[in-house]
Amino acid sequence: MTNRGLGNLLTIGRQARAALHDLQPPPRRPPVPPERCLETGGRLGSDGRREEPLTAADLAELRAAVVRLTPDAVAVNLLFSYLDDQRLLCAARSTLPFVACHSPD
């Protein structure tokens, strides 16, 4: 689960390549199929300001997707979430079947 517009990050991948100077490396299979990458609202800016709200409709849609996909686990990776992860965590815990979060605090 990530912010809206960032769902393709696992498919794009990192710059680390087996053959650094190969201009046409063979495509790699993403670690998670794109149809299992979920996006939601609740985006924060680098200063912690709310860029996009996390709405009740976002949480309902997210819950429906998680129920439909029946994953073994859900990884949550939200841009700048460490600035205000408790807000999302509280909202997600009340909506999703199980949420665990690591916070540096």
Query: What is the per-residue DSSP string for 1-55?
Result: -EETT-TTHHHH--S--SSTT-SSPPPPPPSS-GGG--EES--B-TTS-BSS---
pLDDT band of 79, cuts 50, 70, 90: confident
64 vs 76: CA distance, rounded Å: 16
Mean pLDDT of the chain: 79
10 vs 29: CA distance, rounded Å: 10
pLDDT digits (tens, 9 = 90+) for 26-76: 888 888 899 999 998 888 888 888 888 888 898 888 888 888 988 887 877
Give the per-residue pLDDT at 99.
Answer: 58
Give the per-residue pLDDT at 91.
Answer: 61
Give the per-residue pLDDT at 56.
Answer: 83
Give the per-residue pLDDT at 39.
Answer: 92
Query: What is the per-residue DSSP string for 49-83?
Result: -BSS---HHHHHHHHHHHHHH--S----B-TTGGG
State the pTM of this model. Answer: 0.72
Give the per-residue pLDDT at 7.
Answer: 87
Query: Hey, what amino acid is at 37?
Result: C
Does 101 have pLDDT greater than 60?
A: no
39 vs 1: CA distance, rounded Å: 6
Angle CA(62)–CA(88)–CA(49) in degrees, nearest 5? 120
Give the per-residue pLDDT at 36.
Answer: 92
